[in-house]
A and B are shown apart, each in its own frame.
Chain A
C-alpha cells in the first residue's frame, strides 16, 4: 500500500482549532489549546474513538421555555440536532452524521414526516464511523428513504427508477462512472419488493418487504446476469470497481477543499477497499498534511451556527434557529435535493445576510447594555476584548485593521458598550470567522 502523508509540522492551538472545525463544530473556549496537548494522533483518535456521549450544558428549549417536540413541532427537528451539535462530547460522530445526511440527503417534506427523518438520523449516527456497506443496506430499507425516493412504489408490475438511479449516481459510483441507463432499469427491478401499508390520514406505515411484489426474474447489471434482489443491488454497487474511488474522493471533500494527490487517493482507496469501513479513512484524512497545510474552507452554515453557540457558551433556546438555518442556506432535514447541499456555494449576498442575522441571534443574549461602564475608549483595545470574548480565535491582520478603524470611527458617535456589541457582530461575520 502506498504511504499516506501524515502531517509532521507543529500541532499547536491553531492546528487543533482547524481540526475541531473540520471534524466537529468548532472549539469551546480553551478547547483548542487543551486538544493541542494531545498531539496530532492523540487529538485525532480522541475524535474518531470517543467514549460514551455526554451532552454538556442545559437542555434545549423553545421560546416559551418548553422542552422541544422534535417529532412534531415545526423547526424543532432542526433545533434538536443543532443542540446536539453544540452539546455533544462526540463532535466527530455528529459531524459525520451531518456528512451522511448530505450524502443520503433526505428531505422531511419529501419523506412526509419529521419522525421518519429523525429516525433516519439515528440510523446514520449509529453507522457514523462504522461500515459503509451496513449503512447502505440500512438506508436502502429506511422508511424515510423508501418514501423519498419512491422505493415503496417500486414493484414487479411497475418498476420505478428513482432510487436505483440515485443509488449509483449519488450514493456509490458517481454520474457516468461505469453504469448505463439499462443498469438503472435493471437495478430498479432488483430493488422491487418494498411496501408500506396506508391508512387514510395516516400516510404510509408498517414498511416491509413483500416477496410477491419483487421481480424475481433474471436481471443483467454491470454486464452480469443474475437473480438479484435489493441487497444484491447494494452489494453490486459496493463491489463495483468505481465505488472506492468515488467514496474516498467524496468523503475527502467534506474535510479538505483541494483534491487528494493520486498517491493519496490510491492509498485511501486501499484503506477503504479492505473492509468498507469509514473510520480508518477518516482517521487518515484527519491526519493528512493537506488538512493542516492546505487552504481554508467556508464553514457550512449549521457548523457556523453551532460553532458560534459553542464559542459563546450559549444553548439553543428559540425556534428562530430553524429559520436562521434556512436564511443562511442550510435548514437541517430540508436539503435542496437528493444530492445534498452545494458546498461550493455557501456564500452569496443572500446567505451572507442569513449569517448576519444568525450571528446577531447568537450574540443578542450577551450584548452589553448601552450604559455599561468601564470599557476602553480606544478601537484597538475594544477589538482585543472582542477577540478574547470569542475565545481568542486566529484573526488576520486585514480584519484587525478594518475593525480597529471601524471602532475608532464609531466611538465618536456611540458609547464603547454599543461599539463593542457592533465589533462582536462584525468579527462574527468577518471572512476569518466564516472560514476555517
Chain B
C-alpha cells in the first residue's frame, strides 16, 4: 500500500513553537491594511483569514463589496497574462534518484542497493554520464524537445532537515520561519486584483501556502466542473447560494476573526461557483489523452481541468498543486518513487501537449520543486533519509531547456552531513521567474532578492 507522507507540514506546531516563544508579549491586533506581524506565532491564524479573503475586510473598509463586483473584475481581468503553475513534490526528492550519475562510481558506493544500473533509463542529452530514471521517460522527451530545464541541485545554505520548516521556506520564498505570506501570494498582492479569486488557484482541496496572500483573494477547487452545490441547479439553489454570499459579506467586518474567516469562506465560495458555472453545466473535454489515475480527482485530471479553464479564458495567473506520489522515501524507495514519478512526468507531458493543442503553450510555465533532497548514502531500509539540495524543473515552450547549476559532485562534494550541496539557490530561481517570466519586481517580493544570482531561465 502506498503511504501518505508521514512527515510534518505547516502545522499547529509551527504556530505553537513561535507562540511559546512569544507568549506573554501580547498579540498585535490584525487591522485591515496592516502588514503581517512577522514572527508572532498566532499570526498564522490572521494570515490564513486573510488568504481566504479576509482581504475583503481590507477592501471592504471603505466600500461594501457586492458579489457582482467580482464578476466585473473577472470580465475585466486580462486573460492573456502569463501563467505560472507550481507543482510540489511532497517529501523530498533529488537528482540521484531522478537523473542519476551512471558514470560516477561513488554513486554505486553510496547507494549499493538503490543505485540504478547504467543500462536502465534514457541518457541525458546534455551530459551522457547522466541517465533519467526509467519512470521519468516523459521528462526525457520534454527535455529532448528543449522544453524542460533541470535544476539538479537547488536549495539554500544551512539547509533545514525538517519537512515543515524547509517546505515553509520554499513556500514563503525566504529562510524565515515567521513570514506568513507565500511568494506567489506576495506577487499576486502586487499584480493581482481585489475582485478575482481565480488569480491564485489551488488545485487541491486545501489552499497551497505558496499562494497565501495578504490582500487579494485566492481560491481552491478540485476541478472546474466539480464546484457544484447540488445535483441539479434550480432557481431556489441560486437564491440560496446568493444568500451564502450575503452571509459572508454580513460578517466581513466582524470583530471576531473566526466569524470573519467563516464569512470569507462563504462569500468566496459563492463567487467561485459563479465563475465556474459554465463548467458545472457542461463539464470539460481535453484534446489529448491524460494518464489514468487511481484517485478520482487525481493529478492528471486537475491538470486537464486547469488547461480547460485557461482555454475558457478564466483569469488564472498562478496555480499550485501537489504532484502525486510520496517522495519521503525512508523505506522501500524503489517502488515508492517509481509510481509517483511516472504519473507526475506522464501527466505533465500530457498537460504540455494539451496546452500546445489549445494554442496556450507560450503562456504557461510549470515549476516543479521539493522541500529538500535525500541523504546521499542510502539507509538500510531500502530508503534514504532527509538530505539537502533537491531537484527542480521548469517546463514549457518558453524555458531555455538547459541545465541550471552544476550537477552535484559526489567525490568530495558532499557537505559535512553527507548531503548534496546546492548549486543554485531557490530564491535566485524565484527572483528569475518573477523578473523574466512574470515581469515583476523581485526585490519587492523576495526578501534580500539582490543577494541571489539570477539564472537566465527563459528564451
Q: Which residues from chain A sit less than 8 Å from chain B, CB to CB? A: 102, 107, 109-110, 112, 148-150, 153, 155, 157-162, 165-166, 169-170, 174-177, 181, 184, 245-246, 249-250, 253, 257-263, 265, 295-298, 326-327, 329, 334, 336-340, 342-345, 347-354, 356-357, 396, 398-399, 401-403, 405-406, 409-410, 413-414, 418, 422, 425-426, 429-432, 434-435
Residue of A nearest to B237 (CB): A422
Binding stretch for chain A, among B242-250, B307-315, B448-456: B242-250
Query: Which of chain A's residues have a CB closer than 8 A to the CB of B12?
Result: 102, 250, 253, 339-340, 342-344
List CB contacts (< 8 Å) of B1-30 with chain A.
1-17, 19-20, 22-27
Out of B162, B220, B222, B259, which one reaches A175, CB within 8 Å?
B162
Per DSSP, chain A at the interface is helix
Interface contact B16-A253, CB-CB below 8 Å = yes
CB distance from B62 to the nearest CB of A (A): 19
Interface contact B379-A160, CB-CB below 8 Å = yes
Q: Check B232 for interface membership: any CB of A closer than 8 A.
A: no
Given the complex of chains A and B, what is the CA–CA distance between A409 and B238 in angstroms? 12
Q: Check B34 for interface membership: any CB of A closer than 8 A.
A: no
For the complex of A and B, list the 5 residue pairs with the smallest distance between their C-beta atoms, beginning with the closest: A262-B24, A158-B380, A339-B11, A431-B262, A339-B8
Q: Check B417 for interface membership: any CB of A closer than 8 A.
A: yes
CB distance from A320 to the nearest CB of B (A): 14
Query: Which of chain A's residues have a CB closer than 8 A to the CB of B25?
Result: 262
Out of A150, A339, A422, which one reaches B240, CB within 8 Å?
A422
Out of A336, A398, A434, which one reaches B254, CB within 8 Å?
A398
Interface contact A153-B381, CB-CB below 8 Å = yes
Out of A176, A297, A356, which one reaches B229, CB within 8 Å?
A356
Interface contact A349-B272, CB-CB below 8 Å = yes
Query: Which of chain B's residues have a CB closer than 8 A to the CB of A166?
Result: 6-8
Residue of B nearest to A356 (CB): B229
List CB contacts (< 8 Å) of B261-285 with chain A.
261-266, 268-269, 272
Known: A296-B258, A337-B9, A426-B243. A257 touches B20 (CB 8 A): no
Q: Which residues from chain B sit less than 8 Å from chain A, CB to CB? A: 1-17, 19-20, 22-27, 41-42, 44-45, 48, 52, 161-165, 177, 197, 202, 204-207, 219-222, 227, 229, 235-236, 239-240, 242-244, 246-248, 250-251, 254, 256-259, 261-266, 268-269, 272, 330-331, 379-381, 383, 385-386, 417
Interface contact B380-A176, CB-CB below 8 Å = no
CB distance from A260 to the nearest CB of B (A): 6
Given the complex of chains A and B, what is the CA–CA distance between A8 and B288 in angstroms? 67
Given the complex of chains A and B, what is the CA–CA distance between A357 and B230 in angstroms? 8
Query: Which of chain B's residues have a CB closer than 8 A to the CB of A434?
Result: 262, 265
Known: A349-B265, A349-B272, A431-B262. A406 touches B14 (CB 8 A): no
Known: A349-B268, A401-B250. A422 touches B42 (CB 8 A): no
Interface contact B379-A337, CB-CB below 8 Å = no
Known contacts A109-B2, A342-B10, A434-B262, then 14 further A-B pairs from the complex at CB < 8 Å, ordered by chain A residue: A109-B3, A162-B6, A174-B17, A175-B165, A245-B23, A337-B5, A339-B12, A347-B264, A348-B219, A351-B265, A352-B265, A399-B251, A410-B236, A431-B262
Interface contact B6-A338, CB-CB below 8 Å = yes
Interface contact A351-B205, CB-CB below 8 Å = yes
CB distance from A354 to the nearest CB of B (A): 8
Given the complex of chains A and B, what is the CA–CA distance between A434 and B260 in angstroms? 11
Query: Which of chain A's residues have a CB closer than 8 A to the CB of B330?
Result: 150, 153, 160-162
CB distance from B22 to the nearest CB of A (A): 7
Out of B27, B259, B263, which one reaches A258, CB within 8 Å?
B27
Out of B204, B262, B379, which one reaches A347, CB within 8 Å?
B262
Known: A149-B6, A338-B6. A430 touches B23 (CB 8 A): no
**Residue among A181, A340, A409, A426 with the highest chain B CB neighbour number at 10 A:** A426
Given the complex of chains A and B, what is the CA–CA distance between A275 and B3 in angstroms? 36
Out of B257, B259, B266, which one reaches A352, CB within 8 Å?
B266
Interface contact A349-B20, CB-CB below 8 Å = no
Interface contact B251-A169, CB-CB below 8 Å = no
CB distance from B172 to the nearest CB of A (A): 15
Residue of B nearest to A422 (CB): B240
Query: Which of chain A's residues have a CB closer than 8 A to the CB of B381?
Result: 150, 153, 158, 160
Residue of A nearest to B257 (CB): A295
Residue of B nearest to A254 (CB): B12
Residue of B nearest to A112 (CB): B1
Given the complex of chains A and B, what is the CA–CA distance between A298 and B251 in angstroms? 14
Interface contact A110-B6, CB-CB below 8 Å = yes
13 residue pairs A–B, Cβ–Cβ below 8 Å: A107-B4, A155-B380, A160-B385, A260-B23, A342-B206, A344-B44, A348-B207, A349-B221, A352-B265, A410-B239, A429-B244, A431-B258, A435-B262
**Residue among B242, B264, B385 with the highest chain A CB neighbour number at 10 A:** B385
Out of A245, A398, A403, which one reaches B20, CB within 8 Å?
A245
Known: A153-B381, A160-B330, A347-B262. A246 touches B24 (CB 8 A): no
Interface contact A157-B165, CB-CB below 8 Å = no
Query: Which of chain A's residues have a CB closer than 8 A to the CB of B177?
Result: 176
Query: Which of chain A's residues have a CB closer than 8 A to the CB of B265?
Result: 347-349, 351-352, 434
Out of B10, B24, B266, B385, which one reaches A265, CB within 8 Å?
B24
Given the complex of chains A and B, what is the CA–CA distance between A413 and B236 in angstroms? 8
Known: A175-B14, A406-B246. A350 touches B205 (CB 8 A): yes
Residue of A nearest to B255 (CB): A295
**Residue among B8, B177, B222 with the highest chain A CB neighbour number at 10 A:** B8
Query: Which of chain B's residues have a CB closer than 8 A to the CB of A350?
Result: 202, 204-206, 220-222
